[in-house]
């Protein structure tokens, strides 16, 4: 408020100069005077005016200065005056403002007072009391009024005269007369009034009439209600004959109903029931309700809710019934509909919950499957690691025992891997993750390679054959990997259950089968039927249905006997179906089984080799392409029984692991006869080298890699020189431990010229052990039981090495060695004869003329003082092995002397 | 191309968890048979076998040469060890008989004969890894060298005792082996070398 005022003031000050309440001249004058004399406010201004310079003589130069300062002073004065004026104005304005406020306040107060007074006025004004009077009160008031009138009249008789004087009595009589007159007058008026009332009484007539009227109205109302109510009401007597009825069926007249029973009136369903119900109520004496559906010709099908109550007379005797019926057809229908709806809802809800449950179970199942798949995957990686490491380990230097253990380990690991891969494959197919690839491939090649591969690992005397009809296209499009997987699975399955006879694949083109969906067909499609047949144990008819189920095998016995996961066929079936085909089986027990799958392929138009090049690059011989490979329709492979081929090795590519080779038992390597014709006579023509299996792996693998292996074995005429193979192997072998290389080298050398070794030992047990060790190292040897026998043996046969026991009966090793050395020096056995050795001069005397190379003789010492090494060397021995002989010692010795 | 969805849905409708197969020849049996070939009986026998073998090494009955011997046994010669060992025991019994005959008469002992027998015995025992027998033989030979008949007789007794002892032990071992094979198990091939477990301690002999 204050602030507002101030701003107002300032505005006003700028805009207009308000006239002050004081005379202007007076104020200004005084102010000015006051201002000049006592310049209170602005001392600075005055100081400026003050001239600090010394007063000097007034000169012209000084004058303008003075003038100037005077001007300054006067202007400052004017300023001061103006300032004072402003201040004055300001004060004036303030006062005026004050006044104004006061005036306003006074006015407000006055207005308030006025208002209060007015309010007070209103309050004092009493509202008029308007009594609501009824007739009786009106009468009563009138009566009261009359009474008051009477009171006014009956004022006391006042007599002025003296008591008991004539005058008094006269006066009294007069007054009494007056009173009588008044009384008479009153009586008359009353009679008048009475007459008047009587008249009005008559005019008002009687209240009975009114009541009667009212009653009539009520009856009319009731009648109306009853007639228009949506219910049938009736009254029936004891015999259930209608006495009254309201709202009868419109087409019926009253006489049609009254005096009759329901049964007499209506016909149809429900009539009897209602009649019985009414009778029941009548008998029981209790009111009751029931819903009855009528089926009458008159009004069709209608449902009524019927209320029946018994009626009694005053003597409490039943005289009949009251009955009310309401049509509830629509309601019933609605109700029924609702019930049905509710029922449906319940059913739906139940179904929903069932469905939810099913979904839940399905989800759980899927999750579980997913988990299994994940788990399998998780297991696979470390397992691969284990198997891989084991494989690497198997290439290192191991003894036989370790190798056996390792082989078990690898094969077990391999089995688990296979199992896991199967599981993963299955779950892949089932979850729809598996994608098919379309690649061009040659069915003939696929069949051939599958058979080749199978033949490679075949250990039974079986014939594998492939038969491809001419009309089968050279090149088709499909998922070759999967197809090969199916074929391999089926073939290995067939081989597993077949012990003699043959196993084969037959391909032919068939017409489109009935199950094929039309959509996926086009002109370039071809359906190829593939039979995989065998002459195996067959499958009993009752086992056929569960054949393709997971983990199922024809019987528990089979599972035990043949092993396997039971997943193979399930996977095959799923893969075939995934590709839009069908897998079926026919079988006869003991005669064989035929698995047939039909698949659609697109026929590839161009013979573009690039597409499938990758697929078979591991098998196809690039250096020697077989010209008939693409069109050849028949292949046959025989089991490579007893041959060096014991495994599929790298041929299999992704399907088999090369280490499978390890799983085979020691392989017999038949060698030498063809390769080394010079050594074609005598017992050493065929030398059996029995070995730990691993040694041959690279070689056989190589021969497969060469692509000629099968040809060699199946066509006997074609010579397949192992030395050639070996040399090639040496050049091609890349992954091979030093030991293996060394081994193979030894092998090559020794197989071409088996060394001859003589063991001189008297102890049978030692002989047995040493012989066994030699056998294990791949050598055979002759035995001499003492020095004399040794000399005779040396005389007859040229040995590459002699292992000589030192301490022997008849002639010890030292002496025998001395005699042998003596012979080597002299060229005759004289020394031996001298020593009493019975030299058998046999026909092969020319043996003496053999080269007199120094024969390596290795002593076998018991490491006692008597058999010191010095003594051995002194007697012409080259080296010694301390007993007991171990495999390692023997091996080192042989390596040293059989180079 | 065909989708795998249809297959998957089919499986779902089927509503069965496919790996909860009721089939008795299911995965578990398979695994048991193929991968865990040793059932409990076999495993027990195998453990027993191992333990027994180890104890024989630890008690000095056998040495590493026996391990060598076992290495030589393979599919081609499944009873190699047993054969060699039985040959050895026959040898022992024959040699001990002949030696005891030689040592019978105190005044006329053919020490040369005895020596040859001991040498033979020593070679054989060393070859089969019969360590205790071999050790006794070494002492025996020493006694023989100094023509100590008393010592020889004691050694003879000891050798007799030791080889018979070993014989029973090895018979037990082979029985265990047989049981394992009968139960369908494989004989444990791998066991650590025990040569360093015990230094050669010759039986204490009076000088």
Element (H, E) at A634: strand A634-638
Highest mean pLDDT out of A107-111, A446-450, A510-514, B32-36: A107-111
Chain B nearest-CA distance from A552, in A, is 7
CB pairs under 8 A between A and B: 161
For residue A554, give how far its alpha carbon lies from the nearest alpha carbon of chain B (Å): 10
State the smallest CA–CA distance between residue A432 and chain B in angstroms. Answer: 4
| Nearest residue on chain A to B12, alpha-carbon basis | A362
Judged by CB atoms closer than 8 Å, whether chains meet at B129 and A884 is answered as yes
CA distances from B74 to A191, B33, B91, B126, B130 (A): 164, 24, 24, 21, 21
pLDDT > 80? residue A646: no
Residues 6+ apart with CB under 8 A from A175: A157, A159
pLDDT (tens digit per residue) in B132-167: 898 898 888 888 888 888 888 888 888 999 899 999
Q: Determine, yes or no, domain membership for A12.
A: no
Residue-wise pLDDT tens digits, B53-91: 888 888 888 888 888 888 888 777 778 888 888 889 998
Residue A103 shares a structural domain with residue A200: yes
Is A261's pLDDT higher than 80? yes
Q: Which of A738, A774, A739 lies closest to A893 in space, CA to CA? A: A774
* Nearest Cα residue to A842 out of A803, A792, A899: A792
> Cα separation of B159 and B122, whole Å?
10
Q: Which residue has the tokens 């599958």?
A: A450
How many C-beta neighbours within 10 Å does residue A867 have? 21
Inter-chain touch B27–A401, beta carbons under 8 Å? no
pLDDT higher for A201 or A623? Answer: A201
pLDDT on residue A633: 76
Confidence of residue A156 (pLDDT cuts 50, 70, 90): low
Can you give the pLDDT at residue A70?
Answer: 83
Say if the Cβ atoms of A578 and B7 lie within 8 Å.
Answer: yes
Range of the domain at A93: 80-114+167-204
Indicate the residue of B23, B76, B123 with minimum beta-carbon distance to A862: B123
Residues A185 and A242 in one domain: no
- Closest CA–CA distance from residue B75 to any residue of chain A (Å): 9
What are the DSSP E strand ranges found in A445-574? 462-468, 476-478, 501-510, 525-534
Residue A866 confidence (pLDDT) above 80: no
Please tell me the total count of domains within chain A.
4
Residues A189 and A246 in one domain: no
More confident residue, A437 or A850: A437
| pLDDT at residue A59 in the model | 66
With vertex at residue A607, the alpha carbon angle to CA A603 and CA A611, rounded to the nearest 5 degrees, is 85
The pLDDT score that the predictor gives to residue A139 is: 54
Would you state the structure tokens that stand for residue A382, as one six-digit string?
Answer: 């470390």
- Closest in A429, A555, A886 to B68, CB measured: A886
Does B122 sit within 8 Å of A432, measured CB to CB? Answer: no
User: Which of A358, A553, A776 is facing B25, going by the closest CB pair?
Assistant: A553
Note which residues in 606-645 of chain A have CB less than 8 A from chain B.
none
pLDDT (mean) for A240-251: 79
For residue A69, is it within any domain?
no
User: Which is higher by pLDDT, A208 or A632?
Assistant: A208
* Complex-level ipTM beyond the 0.90 threshold: no
Instruction: Say what angle helices A62-124 and A24-37 make with each other, to 10 degrees.
Output: 130
Confidence class for position A326, pLDDT limits 50, 70, 90: confident
The burial class, CB within 10 Å (0-12 / 13-18 / 19+), for A597 is: buried
pLDDT of residue A559: 56
Residue A566 or A63, more confident: A63
Cβ-based neighbours of B1, under 8 Å, separated by 6 or more: A436, A438
- The pLDDT of residue B92 is above 50: yes
**A580 and A542 assigned to the same domain:** yes
Domain match, A194 and A238 both: no
- Give the minimum alpha-carbon distance from A343 to chain B in angstroms, rounded to a whole number: 27
The confidence score (pLDDT) of residue A181 equals: 94
Percent of chain A with pLDDT over 90: 7
User: In which band, very low, low, confident or very high, does the pLDDT at A631 lie, cut at 50, 70 and 90?
Assistant: low
Residues facing A758 on adjacent strands:
A782, A802
Average pLDDT over residues A640-655: 38
How confident is the model at residue A179, as a pLDDT?
Answer: 93
Give the closest of A358, A559, A765 to B124, CB-based: A765
Q: Where residue A133 falls among pLDDT bands split at 50, 70, 90?
A: very low
- The pLDDT, as a whole number, for residue B69 is 85
Question: Within a domain: residue A312?
Answer: yes
pLDDT digits (tens, 9 = 90+) for A169-198: 888 889 999 999 999 999 999 999 999 888
Q: Are residues A453 and A496 in the same domain?
A: yes
Residues A99 and A189 grouped into a single domain: yes
In terms of Cα–Cα distance, which of A723, A722, A744 is closest to A733? A744
Question: What residue in B sits closest to A666 (Cα-Cα)?
Answer: B75
User: pLDDT at residue A387 above 60?
Assistant: yes
A5 — pLDDT class (breaks 50, 70, 90): very low
Give the C-alpha separation, B122 to B133, whole Å.
Answer: 8
Residues A250 and A186 both lie in one domain: no
Q: Does residue A278 share a domain with residue A196?
A: no
Which A-chain residues 416-455 have CB contacts (< 8 A) with chain B? 416, 419, 426, 429-434, 436, 438
| A63 has pLDDT over 90 | no
**pLDDT tens per residue across span A787-841:** 888 888 888 888 888 988 887 878 888 888 888 888 888 877 777 777 777 776 5
Chain A residue with minimum CA distance to B116: A809
Residue A565, min C-alpha distance to chain B (Å): 7
Q: What is the mean pLDDT of the segment spanning A119-128?
A: 53
Structure tokens at A891: 């091996």
Same domain, yes or no: A182 and A322: no
> pLDDT tens-digit profile of A455-497?
777 777 888 888 888 888 888 888 887 888 888 888 888 888 8
Asked if B11 lies within 8 A of A430 by C-beta distance, the reply is yes
Give buried/exposed letters for A811-843 (b at 16+ CB in 10 A, else e): bbbbbbbbbbbbbeeeeebebbeebebeeeeee
Q: Chain B within 8 Å of A379 (Cβ-Cβ)?
A: no
Cβ atoms within 10 Å of A542's Cβ, excluding its own = 9
Mean of pLDDT over chain A = 72
Question: Given CB atoms, is A666 within the 8 Å cutoff of chain B?
Answer: yes
Q: Which of A415, A556, A769, A861 to mutate to test the interface with B (most CBs of B within 10 A)?
A: A769
Residues of A in contact with B84 (CB under 8 A): 765, 768-769
Same domain as A507, residue A451: yes
**Residue-averaged pLDDT of chain B:** 73
Positive or negative torsion for Cα A19, A22, A25, A31? negative
In the structure, what pLDDT confidence band is assigned to residue A523 with cuts at 50, 70 and 90? Answer: low
Nearest-CA distance B104 → chain A (Å):
23
- Chain A partners within 8 Å of B7 (Cβ): 429-430, 432, 574, 577-578
Of A31-40, A143-152, A835-844, B87-96, the range with the lowest mean pLDDT is A31-40
pLDDT confidence of residue A143: 55
Closest-CA residue in chain A for B77?
A772
Name the residue among B15, B76, B77 with its Cβ closest to that of A358: B15
φ, ψ of residue A67 to 5 degrees: the values are -55, -45
- Asked if the model's pLDDT at residue A627 lies above 80, the reply is no
Measuring CA to CA, which residue among A777, A694, A691, A740 is closest to residue A410? A694
Q: Is the CB of A362 less than 8 angstroms away from the CB of B91?
A: no
Q: Does A875 touch chain B (CB under 8 A)?
A: no
- Rounded Cα distance, B12 and A893, in Å: 69
Tell me what pLDDT residue A193 has: 93
- Return the pLDDT at A566: 66
Residue A649 reports pLDDT greater than 50: no
Q: Which residue of B has its CA nearest to A775?
A: B72
Does A874 map to a domain? yes
A670 touches chain B (CB under 8 A): no
Query: From the CA of B17, how many Å to the nearest CA of chain A?
Result: 6
What per-residue confidence (pLDDT) applies to A30? 45
Q: Is the pLDDT of residue A163 over 80?
A: no
Mutation site for A-interface testing, chosen from B6, B7, B16 by largest number of A Cβ within 10 Å: B7
Instruction: Average the pLDDT over each of A32-46, A593-607, B112-126 and give the range with the smallest value.
Output: A32-46
Banded pLDDT at A741 (limits 50, 70, 90): very low
Note the pLDDT of residue A177. Answer: 93
Percent of chain A clearing pLDDT 70 (strictly above): 66
pLDDT at B17 over 60: no
Subunit contact B80:A807, Cβ cutoff 8 A: no
CA A698 to chain centre: 48
If one compares A154 and B170, the residue with the highest pLDDT of the two is: B170
Instruction: Find the mean pLDDT for residues A7-36.
Output: 48
Are the C-beta atoms of residues A246 and A226 closer than 8 Å to each other? Answer: yes
Per the CB < 8 Å rule, is A436 touching B1?
Answer: yes
Say yes or no: B197 contacts chain A, CB-CB below 8 A.
no
Residue finishing a domain among A556, A586, A606: A606
Structure tokens that stand for A565 in this block: 């996961």
The CATH number given to whatever domain includes residue A892 is 3.40.50.2300
Residue A376 contacts B where some CB pair is shorter than 8 Å: no
Is pLDDT larger for residue A136 or for residue A653? Answer: A136
Are A825 and A853 in contact by the 8 Å Cβ rule? The answer is no
One domain, residues A235 and A197 = no
pLDDT above 90: residue A700? no
Report pLDDT for A605.
67
Is the Cβ pair A368, B120 closer than 8 Å?
Answer: no
pLDDT score for A343: 93
Residue A125 pLDDT greater than 70, yes or no:
no
Quick one: pLDDT at residue A338? 93
In a domain, A199, yes or no: yes
* Separation of CA A575 from chain center: 24
What is the SS3 assignment for A385?
helix
Residue A195 lies in a domain: yes
- Residue B86 touches partner A, C-beta closer than 8 Å: no
pLDDT computed for residue B9 by the predictor: 38
- The answer to whether residue A357 neighbours chain B at the CB level (below 8 Å) is no
Q: Tell me whether A763 touches chain B (CB under 8 Å).
A: yes
Is position A443 within any domain?
A: yes
pLDDT tens-place string over residues A529-575 = 999 999 888 888 877 777 777 655 555 566 555 555 567 788 888 88
Task: Map tokens 């007070």 to a residue.
Answer: A120
B71 touches chain A (CB under 8 A): yes
Rounded to 5 degrees, what are φ and ψ at A543? Answer: -90, -10
Which among B158, B125, B33, B109 is positioned nearest to A559, based on CA atoms? B33
CB-CB under 8 Å, B80 with A429: no
Which pLDDT score, from 0 to 100, does residue A204 have?
67
**Is pLDDT of A675 > 80?**
no
Chain B, residues 101-130, CB within 8 A of chain A, namely 116, 119-120, 122-124, 126-129
For the residues of A733-784, what is the DSSP string, one character each?
--S--HHHHHHHHHHHHHHHS---EEEE---HHHHHHHHHHHHHHT---EEE
- The answer, for B23 touching chain A at a CB cutoff of 8 Å, is yes
For A596, phi and psi rounded to 5 degrees? Answer: -120, 125
CB of B206 within 8 Å of any CB in chain A? Answer: no
* pLDDT: which is higher, A281 or A55: A281
Q: What is the pLDDT of residue A520?
A: 53
Are the beta carbons of B84 and A765 separated by less than 8 Å?
yes
Q: Are A762 and B33 an interchain contact pair (Cβ–Cβ within 8 Å)?
A: no
Residue in B86, B126, B141, B200 to test binding to A, most A beta-carbons within 10 Å? B126
Contacts of B30 in chain A (CB under 8 A): 551, 559, 563-566
Band (pLDDT 50/70/90 cuts) for residue A24 is: low
Domain boundary among A334, A364, A388: A334
- pLDDT of residue B202 exceeding 60, the answer is no
Across A670-706, b (16+ Cβ under 10 Å) vs e yields bbbeebbeebeeeebeebebebbbbbbbbbbbbbbbb
pLDDT value at residue A448: 84
CB contacts, 8 Å: A688 with chain B: none
- The pLDDT assigned to A192 comes to 93
Whether residue A688 is contained in a domain is answered as no
Nearest to A652, CA basis, from A414, A409, A401: A414
pLDDT at position A362 over 50: yes
CATH of the domain at A328: 3.30.450.20
Q: Residue A477 has what pLDDT?
A: 87
Q: Among A334, A356, A374, identify where a domain stops.
A: A334
């Amino acid at each position: 408020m204050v602030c507002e005022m101030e701003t107002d003031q300032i505005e006003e000050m700028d805009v207009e100069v308000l006239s002050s309440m004081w005379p202007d001249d007076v104020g200004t004058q005084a102010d000015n005077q006051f201002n000049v004399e006592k310049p209170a406010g602005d001392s600075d201004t005055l100081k400026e005016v003050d001239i600090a310079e010394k007063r000097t003589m007034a000169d012209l130069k000084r004058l303008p200065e003075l003038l100037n300062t005077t001007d300054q002073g006067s202007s400052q004065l004017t300023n001061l005056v103006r300032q004072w004026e402003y201040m004055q104005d300001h004060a004036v304005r303030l006062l005026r403002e004050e006044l104004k406020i006061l005036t306003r306040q006074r006015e407000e107060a006055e207005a308030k007072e006025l208002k209060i007074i007015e309010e007070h006025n209103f309050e004092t004004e009493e509202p008029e009391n308007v009594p609501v009077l009824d007739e009786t009160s009106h009468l009563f008031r009138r009566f009261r009024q009359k009474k008051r009138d009477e009171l006014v009249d009956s004022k006391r008789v006042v007599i002025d005269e003296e008591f008991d004087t004539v005058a008094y009595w006269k006066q009294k009589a007069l007054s009494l007369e007056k009173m009588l007159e008044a009384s008479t007058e009153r009586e008359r008026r009353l009679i008048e009034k009475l007459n008047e009332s009587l008249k009005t009484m008559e005019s008002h007539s009687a209240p009975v009439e009114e009541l009667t009227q009212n009653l009539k109205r009520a009856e009319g109302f009731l009648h109306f209600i009853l007639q228009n109510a949506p219910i049938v009401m009736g009254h029936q007597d004891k015999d259930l004959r209608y006495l009254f009825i309201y709202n009868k069926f419109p087409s019926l007249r009253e006489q049609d109903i009254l005096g009759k029973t329901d049964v007499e009136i209506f016909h149809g369903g429900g009539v009897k029931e209602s009649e019985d119900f009414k009778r029941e109520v009548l008998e029981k004496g209790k009111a009751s309700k029931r819903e009855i559906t009528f089926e009458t010709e008159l009004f069709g099908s209608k449902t009524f809710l019927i209320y029946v109550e018994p009626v009694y007379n005053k003597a409490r005797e039943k005289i009949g019934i009251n009955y009310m019926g309401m049509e509830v057809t629509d309601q019933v229908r609605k109700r029924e509909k609702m019930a049905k709806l509710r029922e449906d809802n319940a059913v739906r809800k139940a179904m929903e919950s069932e469905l939810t449950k099913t979904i839940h179970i399905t989800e759980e199942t899927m999750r579980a499957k997913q988990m299994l798949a994940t788990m399998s995957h998780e297991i696979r990686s470390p397992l691969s690691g284990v198997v891989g490491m084991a494989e690497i380990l198997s290439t290192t230097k191991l003894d036989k025992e370790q190798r056996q253990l390792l082989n078990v380990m690898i094969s077990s690991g391999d089995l688990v891997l296979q199992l896991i891969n199967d599981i993963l494959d299955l779950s892949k197919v089932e979850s729809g993750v598996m994608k098919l690839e379309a690649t061009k491939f040659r069915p003939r090649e696929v069949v051939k390679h599958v058979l080749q591969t199978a033949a490679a690992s075949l250990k039974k005397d079986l014939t594998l054959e492939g038969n491809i009809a001419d009309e089968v296209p050279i090149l088709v499009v499909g998922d070759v990997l999967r197809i090969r997987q199916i074929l391999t699975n089926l073939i290995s399955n067939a081989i597993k259950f077949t012990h003699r006879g043959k196993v084969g694949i037959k391909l032919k083109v068939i017409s489109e089968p009935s199950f094929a969906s039309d959509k996926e067909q086009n002109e370039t499609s071809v359906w190829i039927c593939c039979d995989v047949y065998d002459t195996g144990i067959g499958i009993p008819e009752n086992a056929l249905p569960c054949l393709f189920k997971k983990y199922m095998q024809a019987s528990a016995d089979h599972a035990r006997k043949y092993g396997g996961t039971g997943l193979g066929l399930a996977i095959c079936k799923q893969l075939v179906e995934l590709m839009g085909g069908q897998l079926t089986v026919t079988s006869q027990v003991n005669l064989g089984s035929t698995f047939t799958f039909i698949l659609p392929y697109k026929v590839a138009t161009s013979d573009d080799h690039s597409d499938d090049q990758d697929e078979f690059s591991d098998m196809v011989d690039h250096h020697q392409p077989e010209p008939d490979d693409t069109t050849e329709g028949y292949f046959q492979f025989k089991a490579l029984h007893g041959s060096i081929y014991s495994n599929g090795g790298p041929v299999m590519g992704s399907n088999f692991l090369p280490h499978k080779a390890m799983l085979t038992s020691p392989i017999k390597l038949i060698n030498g006869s063809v390769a080394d014709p010079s050594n074609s006579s005598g017992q050493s023509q065929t030398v059996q080298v029995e070995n730990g299996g691993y040694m041959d792996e690279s070689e056989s693998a190589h021969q497969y890699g060469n692509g000629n292996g099968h040809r060699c074995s199946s066509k006997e005429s074609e010579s397949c020189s192992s030395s050639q193979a070996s040399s090639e192997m040496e050049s091609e072998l890349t992954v091979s431990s030093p030991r293996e290389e060394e081994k193979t080298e030894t092998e090559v050398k020794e197989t071409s010229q088996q060394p001859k070794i003589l063991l001189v030992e008297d102890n049978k047990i030692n002989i047995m052990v040493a012989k066994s060790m030699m056998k294990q190292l791949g050598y055979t040897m002759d035995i001499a039981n003492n020095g004399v026998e040794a000399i005779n043996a040396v005389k007859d046969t040229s040995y590459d090495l002699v292992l000589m026991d030192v301490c022997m009966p008849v002639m010890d090793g030292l002496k025998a060695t001395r005699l042998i050395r003596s012979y080597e020096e002299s060229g005759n056995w004289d020394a031996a004869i001298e020593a009493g050795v019975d030299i058998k001069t046999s026909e092969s005397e020319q043996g003496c003329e053999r080269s007199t190379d120094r024969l390596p003789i290795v002593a076998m010492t018991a490491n006692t003082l008597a058999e010191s090494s010095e003594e051995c060397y002194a007697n012409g021995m080259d080296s010694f092995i301390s007993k007991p002989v171990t495999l390692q010692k023997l091996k080192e010795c042989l390596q040293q002397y059989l180079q | 191309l065909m989708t795998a969805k249809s297959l998957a849905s089919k499986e779902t409708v089927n509503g069965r968890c496919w790996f909860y197969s009721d089939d008795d020849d299911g995965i578990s049996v398979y695994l048991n048979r193929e991968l865990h070939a040793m059932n409990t009986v076999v495993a027990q026998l195998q453990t027993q076998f191992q333990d027994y073998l180890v104890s024989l090494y630890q008690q000095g009955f056998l040495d590493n040469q026996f391990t060598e011997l076992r290495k030589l046994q393979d599919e081609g010669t499944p009873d190699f060890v047993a054969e060699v060992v039985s040959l050895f025991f026959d040898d022992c019994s024959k040699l001990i008989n002949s030696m005891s005959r030689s040592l019978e008469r105190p005044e006329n002992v053919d020490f040369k004969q005895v020596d040859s027998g001991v040498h033979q015995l020593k070679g054989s025992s060393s070859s089969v890894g019969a360590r205790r027998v071999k050790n006794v033989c070494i002492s025996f030979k020493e006694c023989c060298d100094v023509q100590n008949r008393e010592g020889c007789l004691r050694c003879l007794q000891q050798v007799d005792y030791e080889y018979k002892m070993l014989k029973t032990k090895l018979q037990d071992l082979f029985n265990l082996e047989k049981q394992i094979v009968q139960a369908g198990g494989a004989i444990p091939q791998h066991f650590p070398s025990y040569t360093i477990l015990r230094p050669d301690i010759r039986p204490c002999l009076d000088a």
